[in-house]
Structure 1
Amino acid sequence: MMLWSVIPEEQILEHFDKQQYNWMEAEVNGVKMLVEPVAEQPGYGRVIRLLCPDPSHYLNPNYQPGQTVCLAPSTMQ
Structure 2
Amino acid sequence: MVDVLFFAELQEDAGSDQVRIEADGLSVNELKTKLLSSYELTNLDQAMIAVNEEYSREETVLKSDDVVAFIPPVSGG
Q: Scaled by the length of structure 1, what TM-score is found?
A: 0.27
Q: Which has the higher contact order (CA 8 A, sep 6+)?
A: 2
Q: Scaled by the length of structure 2, what TM-score is found?
A: 0.27
Which structure has more helix as a fraction of its residues? 2
Report which of the two structures shows the higher radius of gyration computed on alpha carbons: 1
